[in-house]
Amino acid sequence: MELYKLNAKEQQMSDDVSWALSAPEVQQHHGKLVAVHKKRVVGVGTDRMALVQEAARREQCHWTDIAVVVVPSLDVWEIPH
């Protein structure tokens, strides 16, 4: 079986998501969606479509070029007593 080779757009999205999973500038937005493009936070919100459309407008790219990461709210990490 041959491994799938990511195209440039897919590789950029993969790099953006990998970066976002540990970047403090992303992880500080508890309970929000964070839009990322080229390893930069380009928007924060709760409405995914509005978020990517606005970020794409500002970045002058297609909305499908914007990666979106869900940052869990702080209460997700609470240990039950």
pLDDT (tens, 9 = 90+) of the chain, 81 residues, equals 899 999 999 999 999 999 999 999 999 999 999 999 999 999 999 999 999 999 999 999 999 999 999 999 887 655 555
Dihedral (C-alpha) 16, 22, 51, 73: value to the nearest 10 degrees? 160
* pLDDT recorded at residue 4: 93
Provide the whole-model pTM.
0.86
Which secondary structure element, helix H or strand E, spans residue 32, and what is its range?
A: strand 32-36
* pLDDT recorded at residue 73: 87
